[in-house]
Amino acid sequence: MGAVALGLSYDTPVGLWGYSGGGLATSWAAEMAETYAPEIDIVGAALGSPVGDPASAFLRLNATLHAGLPALVVEGLRRTYPDLDRVVREHVNAEGLALLESVNDLTTVAAVRKLARHDLDRYIDIPLSDLLAKPEILEVFEEIQPGRIAPAVPMLVVQAVHDQIIAVDDVDGQVDRYLDNGAHVTYLRDRLSEHLSLHPLSAPLTLDWLQDRFDGQPLPPSGITTVWSTASSFGAVRDLFALAWSATLALLGRPL
């Protein structure tokens, strides 16, 4: 369906929302918007568990149940950064290269299943920490670290304090960099959720925040707040029930 059929135009307001790897991509999109696509009217960006520090996440997740996630990152970055690809080919053996290339045709869930507890140290000729300390790789991770540029649009950030995949300290650092650079950030740290549950539980709050940005409502205060749950308000509970009901109807093939 085309933009005209949807009633969209060049000045249609746009909201950004992503979670986990999508939250990292949303961070980049918000940071680059003014120079890459200044004509787009972005009213706000919602970042859910947005990684914060890809290099830190890479080291922490290697050889864990979620080792497939850093493998996906490396394989994707190799296509964009020739120097990274060259260093990987110099130090990763044939079995390791085949393993990295195998994730190209996999979904994220399938890659995580296949590479669970895989240790990249087994496939390289120097310690992983030494490989990641090479200037070519440090340059890549520095370039992709979110928070170095303050977006001009307001942001909502949600993160689980006890996230088992994305460290809350890394997201704290990303938000601190934004605030230090003058960005408007409403950051909510959730005590009761973890990585997988925070996404659906924070969805009502996130959608309400985005709706307020479309409606031109006053911004909530910029700063950091730790809450028991992003889903603890009456409105959030009501919206969660509405989402559950809509999902049930969709699964049953009934009209929404």
Tokens 């520090």 correspond to: 53
How would residue 235 be classed by pLDDT, with cut points 50, 70 and 90? Answer: low
254: pLDDT strictly greater than 80: no
pLDDT in tens, 153-208: 999 999 999 999 999 999 999 999 999 999 999 999 999 999 999 999 999 999 99
Q: What CATH architecture is 14-53+154-251?
A: 3-Layer(aba) Sandwich (3.40)
CATH 1.10.260.130 domain range(s) in the chain: 54-143
Residue 70 pLDDT > 90: no
Whole-prediction pTM value?
Answer: 0.86
pLDDT of residue 237: 61
Residue 181 has phi, psi (to 5 degrees) of -95, 5
What contacts 176, CB < 8 A, 6 or more positions away?
147
Encode 119-184 in three state secondary structure.
CHHHHECCCHHHHHCCHHHHHHHHHHCCCCCCCCCCEEEEEECCCCCCCHHHHHHHHHHHHHCCCC
Domain 54-143 has CATH 3.40.50.150: no
